[in-house]
Structure 1
Amino acid sequence: MIIQQNVVELTTPTGPMRCQVYRPQADGEFPCVIFYSEIFQITAPIERTAKILAGHGFVTVVPEVFHELNPIGTVLAYDDAGKDKGNEDKFTKPLEHHDSDTVAMIEFFEQQSYCSGTFGAMGVCIGGHLAYRAALNPRILSSFCLYATDIHSNTLPCDEGNDSFSRTQDIQGEITMIWGKQDPHVPTEGRQKIYQKLIDTERNFTWHEFNAQHAFMRDEGDRFDPELVLECYKMAVDQFRRTL
């Protein structure tokens, strides 16, 4: 599908949040996928992934995940300074604020004439965690989480007992977890911990581990794995078409 894009600025309890929206040009109603970025926010690789999803028939919404902590439009570079600032933001923003961001997006886009009213979530790195986190909201019917950081370690700020790992049993929709076995950010014992939690809570999930490094989806840098990327895109599109 040929796509179009626009920018919306949503009101959230923690301030204005800019979202990039990519959607088919065709008339009609389409499912909505919230696509959560890495710590660097809406970089060129994130935008390209969002366009690919939109071109397969989804309204793809990409929020500025740390909108409270940066000027609107901030994009961090893939360098040490960008990594340091992004990690600082990651460890500053409480998970509860991400929750209210998700609610704001659902409430806005369910009212748009081009949205069908069904919602999924997808994300990479911290965004993979946020897609997992979004699945705690019953309106999220399907989540596709790529190398999600900080779930196993409970290192993101939140109220006691409100971390994403402890609340796994609240996930109602279908969820897919994608991992790289050579990813130092989520080691084997961390992945096993999450897998066992999903088993113990009897969630509806699919699990894939690839011989890949962290951020293998990012088409900039030396960890990019194009063949795995195509496989993951196909799995995500198939899942969202089936569930949304």
Structure 2
Amino acid sequence: MQIQSHEVDLSTPTGVMRCYVYRPKELDAAAPKQYAPIILYSEIFQQTGPIRRSAQIMAGHGFVVVVPEVFHELNPIGTVLGYDNAGRDKGNADKVAKTLEAHDSDAQAILDHLQTLPYCTGRVGAMGFCLGGGLAYRAAMNPAIRATSCFYATDIHSGMVPSNTGNDSLTRTPEIKGELQMVWGKQDPHIPPEGRALVYSTLVKAGVNFTWHEFNGVHAFMRDEGERYDAELQLLGYQMAIGLFRRALY
């Protein structure tokens, strides 16, 4: 399936947010609302090459994919951080500077925009990697999100991203009503076994409909740049996510 892309700037309570939209070219004007949308959350580096390719892969399988600039209020539009020490330090500083509540309002702005697109169905999914995995988990608390796929989601277990007391993602887990898919690397130092165990027990206690997948992989094994990349696990990861969204959103 061939795809096309465009950019859209959305108004949020914390400023203008640039989003990158990828969707199938094949649109039937006589059959509106053809494709289910997915919000795809990036790592702390925003829309890098690997994130863009992830969005293109998902769009090529029949979804409208929206990639927001997760730190839009802290950087000029179009900012992409490097996969190096400077980029990591800046991204981690931005993560601490932005509250979860600001991410919540970002998600709502995207959801509102999706309702205006004639080729989108009303069944929305969320997906993300690293920081984006945690943001996808957070987005799943919005009742409009029907299915969510989180890859090595950071900060859920530790609550590092600032929030008002009692509004952290772990505490609000019972609000997740759609289906959840959690994917982890066993050798990931950012989410140790005890952190994964805490997330798992919280999901069970909350009665969330979820699946849990742990692989022999390090952090960022889905990223097709650098020494952490695992092509076999990446392929399996996309198959799992596509399977979830096709089943839950169509």
TM-score under structure 1 length normalisation:
0.99
Partner of 1:58: 63
Shift in Å, 1:109: 1.1
Query: Which secondary structure does the structure 2 equivalent of 1:111 belong to?
Result: coil
User: Which deviations, in whole Å up to 9, do the C-alpha atoms of 1:52-79 show, x marking residues without a partner?
Assistant: 0000000000000000000000000000
The one-letter code of the counterpart of 2:27 is D
Shift in Å, 1:87: 0.2
Query: Which residue, 120, 140, 144 being the options, matches 1:115?
Result: 120
Count of residue pairs brought into register by the alignment: 244
Query: Which residue, 135, 140, 146 being the options, matches 1:130?
Result: 135
Residue segments in structure 2 that go unaligned for 5+ positions in a row: 29-33
- Distance in 1, Cα, partners of 2:171 & 2:237: 27
Matches within 5 A, 1:166-181: 166-181=171-186
The one-letter code of the counterpart of 1:187 is P
The one-letter code of the counterpart of 1:139 is A
- Distance in 2, Cα, partners of 1:84 & 1:122: 24
Partner of 2:189: 184
Which segments of structure 1 move beyond 4 Å, counting only runs of 4 or more?
A: none
Matches within 5 A, 1:193-204: 193-204=198-209
The one-letter code of the counterpart of 1:122 is M
Partner of 1:35: 40
**1:4 lines up with 2:4 in the alignment:** yes
User: Which deviations, in whole Å up to 9, do the C-alpha atoms of 1:122-181 show, x marking residues without a partner?
Assistant: 000000000000000000000000000000011110000000000000000000000000
**1:102 lines up with 2:113 in the alignment:** no
Let me know the Cα RMSD of the aligned residues: 0.5
Query: Which secondary structure does the structure 1 equivalent of 2:235 belong to?
Result: helix
- Distance in 1, Cα, partners of 2:246 & 2:84: 36
- Distance in 2, Cα, partners of 1:235 & 1:205: 13
Partner of 2:14: 14
- Distance in 2, Cα, partners of 1:150 & 1:106: 23
**1:233 lines up with 2:233 in the alignment:** no
- Distance in 1, Cα, partners of 2:208 & 2:242: 21
Shift in Å, 1:116: 1.0
- Distance in 1, Cα, partners of 2:69 & 2:123: 21
- Distance in 2, Cα, partners of 1:111 & 1:242: 24
- Distance in 1, Cα, partners of 2:84 & 2:108: 32
Query: Which secondary structure does the structure 2 equivalent of 1:91 belong to?
Result: helix
Shift in Å, 1:119: 0.5
TM-score under structure 2 length normalisation:
0.97
Query: Which residue, 137, 161, 164 being the options, matches 1:159?
Result: 164
**1:87 lines up with 2:87 in the alignment:** no
Query: Which secondary structure does the structure 1 equivalent of 2:97 belong to?
Result: coil
Shift in Å, 1:114: 1.3
Partner of 1:222: 227
Shift in Å, 1:118: 1.3
Partner of 2:83: 78
- Distance in 2, Cα, partners of 1:209 & 1:217: 13
Residue segments in structure 1 that go unaligned for 5+ positions in a row: none
